[in-house]
A = this chain, B = another copy of it.
Amino acid sequence: MQYRTHHCGELRIENVGQEARLSGWVQISREFGGLTFVDLRDRYGITQLVFNQEDDSALCDQARELGREFVIMVDGIVRERSNKNPNRDTGDVEIEVKKLSVLNASKVPPFTIEDESDGGDELRMKYRYLDMRRNPVKDKIIFRNKIAFETRKYLIEKSFTEVETPILIKSTPEGARDFVVPSRMNPGQFYALPQSPQTFKQILMIAGFDRYFQIVKCFRDEDLRADRQPEFTQIDCEMSFVSREDVLQTFEGMTKHLFREVIGQELADFPRMSYDQAMHDYGSDKPDLRFEMKFTHLNDVAKGKGFNVFDQAEAVIGICAKGQAANYSNKDINKLTDWVKRPQIGAKGLVYVKHNLDGTIKSGVGKFYSDEDLKEWLTAAGAEQGDMLLVLSGDQEATAKQLGELRLEMGRRMDLIKAGDFKPLWVLDFPLLEWDEDSGRFHAMHHPFTAPKHEDIERMKSGDHDAMKALRADAYDLVLNGAEIAGGSIRIHDRALQEKNFELLGFTEEEALAQFGFLLGAFEYGAPPHGGIAFGFDRLCAIMSGSTSIRDFIAFPKNNMGRDMMIDAPAGIADEQLVELSLKVTSE
């Protein structure tokens, strides 16, 4: 039994006159005079079938009963179409059908199987197998596979070995919450699903594998926000005998390779920026460089003129919205002020200075500042006639963050972000530790295995608390269009330094040993210098295809409650299963 001689995207004008057998889904069927046309669809394309009432009325009647999404097999002759469809690869031909078999019927689908569907989110998730028949969804899954394969090609070519690390590992309280798996054979004991293969890839370096990678599922039991999934995929990588430069070169090369091979884009060398610089210029450690609009720090020119708000602020910072002076009425400014005062942004207010095209200067704080004063601001910000300055003030960190958000919003409003534009950036020299006031202890900014920069090692060992805050990590993020697509670091490979780091992070010696004893032990048997990086694979796919949502790039995503709507999981399990696992549910 052969179901097809060709697929539905294959036939061309050269095939005219040939016999062909096709199988696929009925996309649409329409009647036109004595003819019935059926668009037959499979993964590869659509081919037009034609049934002629005059030639074979029984067959034609059979065709007229086909519903949308019926699965059929047809035999026929390829012939040239009179009205060709230039938008379709197979648009020059059609099949004059001689025989029709219905392989499977279909109920009427709950939403249309078209590029633009009328189905809501929940419905499309429940009937994911119908949603995936739509080109935009199908294409994204195929696109993902291409990126995965090109990743493997590139890395294997560079002597990386893909090694599968275990999924059933041990729970570690550090970081996000683990999913755990009760062990039936060891009552009261649990495995955990990995949040990342971090310790295993370091172990592989100690094992001498030199260059490791893995495209691997990771798991985090977090309260889900939009665009967070409990299981997600990483391109996880580690290299031995490397310094930061080796890692950056290798993965800049990989990223360029992916863009070249998958979407035909040549990326220029990636710029680099320190964490401090990024925070100073953009109020973000993942600045979107698709447009400029850098921060202008106005403390020197804006303070001490009697405007209380600024005088009491730690920071007065502005951005220059090019050519926007004429576009923002007072009403528009008020709306924008409301936007920055929303709780998600949290600014107290917004000050504008317009440098009008006629040379005049207008500002909401005009009564506190002379035109000369305001000109100083405009000059500092590089504003010209027609431009508008937007200024926020307050606590340094919060203000920078708020202005960073406003900058992105203005970029969107001013249409500065062009589709198909990709602006990668390495952000370097992150702080090693963050002080957390609530818990009164340090947190690792990257993770507890990140090495301090070489020149900071002695300072780290000194133990002085303030010195700790100033420590720089040998860590790096790859930012693309304002999203972090990869992050990594050179790792600690010395037991004493790792113990010191655990101590700074508030681990007792016993906790460190219980959780990471195997790694500390491994450091004592010839651990090489090593470092690595991990790409968020779902997000990389989304950004490379110009999309903002990762969910579309996952074949079977879960909803915001961590629920698979199609199979309806999670679900209750049998009482015997609980008994076997020595577990009892305490509340439902």
A207 at the interface (CB under 8 A from B): yes
Residues of B within 8 A of A163 (CB): 141, 145, 555
Q: Do the beta carbons of A165 and B104 come within 8 Å of each other? A: no
Does A567 reach chain B (CB closer than 8 Å)? yes
* A244 and chain B: residue at smallest CB distance: B1
In the complex, the answer to whether A208 meets B132 with C-beta atoms within 8 Å is: yes
Q: Mask for A97-119, Cβ within 8 A of B = 1, else 0? A: 00000011111010000000000
Task: Determine if B43 and A170 form an interchain contact, defined as CB atoms under 8 angstroms apart.
Answer: no
A525 is an interface residue with CB less than 8 A from chain B = yes
Q: Which residues of B contact A483 (CB under 8 A)?
A: none
Q: Residues of B contacting A555 with CB < 8 Å?
A: 163-165, 200, 204
Are A190 and B573 interface neighbours, CB within 8 A? Answer: yes
Closest residue of chain B to A454, judged by CB? B1
Residues in B whose Cβ lies below 8 Å from that of A193:
167, 181
How many copies of this chain does one complex carry?
Answer: 2
Distance from A511 Cβ to chain B, minimum over Cβ atoms (Å): 11
Q: Is A562 an interface residue (CB 8 A)?
A: yes
B1, B148, B180, B529: the one within 8 Å of A581 (CB): B180
- Can you give 5 contacting A-B residue pairs, CB < 8 Å? A3-B242, A43-B208, A44-B210, A167-B217, A178-B577
C-alpha gap A148/B160 in the complex (Å): 13
Shortest CB–CB separation between residue A453 and chain B, in angstroms?
12
A207, B170: Cβ atoms closer than 8 Å: no
Segment 326-381 of A: residues with Cβ below 8 Å from B = none
Asked if A554 is at the interface of the complex by the 8 Å CB criterion, the answer is yes
Report the bound CA distance from A182 to B573 in whole Å.
Answer: 10
Residues of the B chain whose Cβ atoms lie less than 8 Å from the Cβ of A456 = none
- Identify the 4 closest CB pairs spanning chains A and B, nearest first: A106-B526, A132-B207, A170-B569, A3-B241
Binds B, one of A53-61, A77-85, A122-130, A388-396: A122-130
Output the nearest chain B residue to A527 by Cβ-Cβ distance: B104
CB-nearest residue of chain B relative to A184? B221
* Contact A130-B243, Cβ < 8 Å, known A189-B572, A190-B570: no
The distance in angstroms between the C-alpha atoms of A568 and B172, with both chains bound, is 12
Which chain B residues lie closer than 8 Å to A70 at the CB level? Answer: 526
- What residues of B have a CB within 8 angstroms of the CB of A183 in the complex? 562, 570
Determine if A230 is an interface residue (Cβ-Cβ < 8 Å): yes
The answer to whether residues A583 and B582 also contact, given A129-B525, A188-B572 and a CB cut-off of 8 A, is no
Query: When the two chains form their complex, are residues A164 and B584 in contact, meaning their CB atoms are under 8 A apart?
Result: no
Chain A facing B: main interface SS: loop
CA distance in complex: A584, B554 (Å): 34
Q: Is A268 an interface residue (CB 8 A)?
A: no
Distance, CA A104 to CA B492, complexed state (A): 12
A178 CA / B581 CA spacing, docked (Å): 11
Asked if A162 and B181 make an inter-chain contact with CB atoms under 8 angstroms apart, the answer reads: no
Give A339 to B256 CA distance when docked, in angstroms: 63
Question: B residues within 8 A CB of A105?
Answer: 524, 526
Contact A241–B23 (Cβ < 8 Å): yes
A554-565 interface mask toward B, CB cutoff 8 Å, 1 = contact, 0 = none?
A: 111010011110
Cross-chain contact of A584 among B3, B493, B529, B583 (Cβ < 8 A) = B583
Given contacts A562-B185, A570-B170, contact A588 B582 (CB under 8 A): yes
Decide: A587 near B188, CB < 8 A? Known: A156-B145, A203-B129. Answer: yes
A575 CB to closest chain B CB (Å) equals 11
Q: In the bound complex, what is the Cα–Cα distance between A148 and B156 (angstroms)? A: 11
Partner of A209, one of B2, B132, B564: B132
Residue contact A568 to B518, C-beta cutoff 8 Å:
yes
Tell me the nearest residue of chain B to A516, going by C-beta: B567
A299 at the interface (CB under 8 A from B): no
When the two chains form their complex, are residues A200 and B556 in contact, meaning their CB atoms are under 8 A apart? yes
Contact B181 A177 (CB under 8 A): no
Judge whether A187 is part of the interface by a CB distance below 8 angstroms.
Answer: yes
Task: Please give, as numbers and ranges, the residues of chain B lying within 8 Å of A524 by CB-CB distance.
Answer: 105-107
B566 touches A203 (CB 8 A): yes
Nearest B residue to A3, CB-CB:
B241
Q: Is A120 an interface residue (CB 8 A)?
A: no
Please, how many angstroms separate the alpha-carbon atoms of A585 and B131 in the complex? 42
Instruction: List residues of chain B with CB within 8 A of the CB of A43.
Output: 208-210
- Report the separation of the CA atoms of residues A554 and B129 in the bound assembly, to the nearest whole angstrom: 34
